Amino acid sequence: MTKLDTKTQLLNIAETALRQRGFDGFSNADLADVAGIRKASIHYHFPTKADLSVALMDRYCNTVQGACDDIDASHASAGARLRALIGYYRASLGDGSTICLCVALSTSRESLSQELVGKMIGFRQIMIGWLKVTFEQGAGDGSIEGGTQAGYEAKAMLALLEGAHLAARDDRDIRQFDAAVALLLLRCKR
Amino acid sequence: MTKLDTKTQLLNIAETALRQRGFDGFSNADLADVAGIRKASIHYHFPTKADLSVALMDRYCNTVQGACDDIDASHASAGARLRALIGYYRASLGDGSTICLCVALSTSRESLSQELVGKMIGFRQIMIGWLKVTFEQGAGDGSIEGGTQAGYEAKAMLALLEGAHLAARDDRDIRQFDAAVALLLLRCKR
DNA sequence: GTCTATATCTTGATAGAC
DNA sequence: GTCTATCAAGATATAGAC
């Protein structure tokens, strides 16, 4: 485990901060404290807060896309894939405080750049696309119970996952997440 | 239509601002501008921003509770009640920018008082309680299709509604809300 | 109830030395 | 790459006149 370069370190700290407290809820001072550098030094790596946020969202999209690919590669049935994605969202809650980056940014939508809002919409499209394909496969192989309208299933499920994150975070209790997705898990037959 | 007193006016302005931009996204200056008074005058009505937020959340809980009572009084079947609640959430999106107050506050959870977080959790309990009863009635009178586990249905549906708000707001397109709740609406048979 | 004036703090960002 | 020093703007909040 080599030591991370400062830029990556800042991205990691910022991602956690943003997902815990929102775009308007963390400052360069917070990042500097954790990173152990002065806040002015942050501008060397990311000239503005907007630049940092765009970089964060780019990395997040890639990470989640990669997670979806991994899930596809390591699970045979659509039902197992859906279960795995639910597990991924569950794990990303961490100690119950880190909601999805896209959700954390949503509240501050009005003060964000068009570029960033575009990336947030792009993130949802990635997720909905993957979910739609998975629901279609689940209807085909019989591993996911329920309707055949995969497009609506996908949008409903993403909304449910994001809402489940919020409920769990407010309560600081991951069981709220589990309760919200319980029926969805029951639909995954194998 | 008599003119509103300043305190109510401030609550209205603050509710819209908070639901559009989050707790850290609006300031006394914003409220003062719209209300047509100086920002220092706000402290006469609400000593601190925390006081204002608590008052907002109290009013919000009462309003939504009242809406649920109205829905119960004016719809015979559980399915019709569920449809009406979905319509209520849909209408509360306004032009697509005003998400649920509780969701708007969630992002800033870490910087909020324990009192306020408690009220947010209380709000969800109100909604989940109402939803659970409605799903139970729906299973009884056959007006809502699907499982009999009303408690899980309730938590899943609240999460879905909140997530649907976020998706619609990011896109500024209420059709994202409609798509997310489409299958839910289909389950309401009468 | 609302005003002016002010205090104090934090924010994002820049300039320039090392 | 990181530092010190500094800036202008914006935040919440208070004191006291009217």
Buried b (16+ CB within 10 A) or exposed e, B140-150: eeebbeeeebb
- Residue B117 in contact with partner chain A when CB distance is under 8 A: yes
User: pLDDT grade, residue A1 (50/70/90)?
Assistant: low
> How far does A130 lie from chain B, in Å, by closest CA?
16
Per-residue pLDDT, B67: 98
Quote the tokens at residue A136. 């279609």
Candidates B68, B76, B84, B70; CA nearest to B181 is B84
Q: What is the largest CA-CA distance in chain A?
A: 56
- Residue A86 in contact with partner chain B when CB distance is under 8 A: no
Quote the tokens at residue A163. 């809402």
Residue A73 has pLDDT above 90, yes or no: yes
Q: Which residue is nearest to nucleotide D11 (CA to C1')?
A: B27
Which of A107, A145, A172 should be substituted to probe chain B, the one whose Cβ sees the most B Cβ atoms within 10 Å? A107
Residue A51: which nucleotide is closest by CA–C1'? Answer: C12
Residue A2 has pLDDT above 90, yes or no: no
Compute the distance between CA of residue A42 and CA of residue B103 in angstroms, rounded to an integer.
31
Per-residue pLDDT, A166: 98
User: Is strand D in 7 Å reach of the CB of B27?
Assistant: yes
Q: Å between A168 CA and D9 C1'?
A: 37
A 39-78 residues, CB < 7 A, strand C = 39-40, 43, 47-50
CB contact under 8 A, A179 and B25: no
Using a 10 angstrom Cβ sphere, with 0-12 exposed, 13-18 middle and 19 or more buried, the burial of residue B107 is buried
Q: Å between A40 CA and D5 C1'?
A: 11
Residue A100 vs residues A96, A112, A159: alpha-carbon distances, Å: 11, 17, 12
Query: Strand C: which nucleotides have any atom within 7 A of a protein Cβ?
Result: 1-6, 10-16
User: pLDDT grade, residue A35 (50/70/90)?
Assistant: very high
A7-33 pLDDT per residue, tens: 999 999 999 999 999 999 999 999 999
Chain centroid to CA A103: 8
Per-residue pLDDT, B147: 82
Query: Strand D: which nucleotides have any atom within 7 A of a protein Cβ?
Result: 1-6, 10-16
Residue A91 has pLDDT above 90, yes or no: yes
User: Is strand D in 7 Å reach of the CB of B48?
Assistant: yes
**Three-state SS at B144:** strand
Q: Which residue is nearest to nucleotide C15 (CA to C1')?
A: A40
Residue A42: which nucleotide is closest by CA–C1'? Answer: D2
Q: Kindly give the parts of chain B with pLDDT less than 50.
A: none
Set of chain A residues whose Cβ sits within 8 Å of the Cβ of B151? 179
> How far does A42 lie from chain B, in Å, by closest CA?
22
- Residue A62 in contact with partner chain B when CB distance is under 8 A: no
Rg of the Cα atoms in chain A: 18
User: Is strand C in 7 Å reach of the CB of A111?
Assistant: no
A139-190 pLDDT per residue, tens: 999 999 998 899 999 999 999 999 999 999 999 999 999 999 999 999 999 9
**Three-state SS at A172:** coil
Which of A102, A157, A170 should be substituted to probe chain B, the one whose Cβ sees the most B Cβ atoms within 10 Å? A170
Per-residue pLDDT, B1: 63
B43-77 pLDDT per residue, tens: 999 999 999 999 999 999 999 999 999 999 999 99
Per-residue pLDDT, A3: 77
